[in-house]
Amino acid sequence: MTTEAGGERRRASFADFVRFLETADPELIATRMPQGPDTAALTAHYPELARVEVREVNVDGAGGMPARLYREAGRATGSALVWAHGGGFVTGDLAMPEANWVGLTLASRGIPVLSVEYRKCLGGIHFPTPSDDLLDAWLWAVKNAGELQAEPTGIHLGGASAGGNLAAGVTKRLRDGAGPLPASLLLLYSVLHPRLPEPSADLRAKTEALTGEFLTADMAPEISLNFTGTEAALTDPYAFPAGGDVAGQPPVYVLNSDADSLRSSGEAYAAQLATASVPVRVEFEPGSRHGHLNEPFTAAGERSLDRMTAWLTAARA
């Protein structure tokens, strides 16, 4: 995304992007930010997805947050997943493949999914609002576990990118008394630190070779501050879960993208968890970029869904 300034083209800042989302006509936003394949296109490519029942629900909370329940009637492994999509805390929705493809695919494999919307950090909204929304959705899922064809103890919590941040923060809130803990936590290419840890030499080389990326590592502080709203809140251990004590959590699966600046955050958080004696498994998806679950029909996205399936089914074995 570029803008004209003083007759010269310049790279847009994250603040420019936020301003665009807050002020532009919704049709223009949709044109600039296409959703990707819809359910019909996904089902045409992956016929097994046609077996999945999709139902719109509202979870308890501020006005009832929208969510989608994915399940295949009569087929369940005993595990279910509450899932939050990404989008830099300012964009994304239930129709994006990172939400819809994930829900359809896991449900077709016997793992019901509650895919959750949350309020974006636009127009004066900041943390803890999105975290509160995901917490409300989690408590709804536990209360209505039968809707997910699982026992409350068989429900997992996870998210991608900004959604992974929210899932990790909510897990710490649950650990500290907000409700029952999930069976496990899944973090896909998530941001857990307000400022990204120093990358390894291998990661630096891979990210420096990338082209055409809009959201880059240097934008991380802007994204973080837009999320929290204040500098002081950047140290809140529920806003950025790498802060504070990380002990006492359920097993955690960290799956990073390969050439992705956020990989340094996922790897550093996994190391913290291991030091705190939290069971953790950390991997990266070879050949992938940030957001690869938003890219159906790709080998990297398909492999990551296979990895998530294996983690979730093994948990009930």
Q: Does the structure show a pLDDT above 50 at 10?
A: no
**Residue with more model confidence, 61 or 201:** 201
Query: Residue 159 — very low, low, confident or very high, per pLDDT cuts 50/70/90?
Result: very high
Q: Does the structure show a pLDDT above 50 at 149?
A: yes
Q: What is the pLDDT of residue 254?
A: 98
Helix pair 220-228, 14-23: axis angle to 10 deg:
50
Query: Residue 9 — very low, low, confident or very high, per pLDDT cuts 50/70/90?
Result: very low
Query: Residue 51 — very low, low, confident or very high, per pLDDT cuts 50/70/90?
Result: very high
pLDDT digits 0-9 by tens, 176-221: 999 999 999 999 999 999 999 999 888 999 988 887 776 677 888 9
70-74, 150-154, 223-227, 253-257: the lowest-pLDDT one: 70-74
Nearest Cα residue to 38 out of 101, 108, 109: 101
CA distances from 294 to 93, 106, 219, 300, 311 (A): 11, 15, 20, 10, 20
Q: What is the pLDDT of residue 210?
A: 80
**Residue with more model confidence, 215 or 5:** 215
Q: What is the pLDDT of residue 32?
A: 84
* pLDDT, mean over the chain: 92
Taking the domains of the chain in order of start, what are their residue ranges?
35-314
What is the CATH number that goes with domain 35-314?
3.40.50.1820
This prediction's pTM: 0.94
Measured in degrees and rounded to the nearest 5, phi and psi for residue 168 equal: -70, -40
Tokens 């999914």 correspond to 113
Six token digits for residue 188? 């896909």
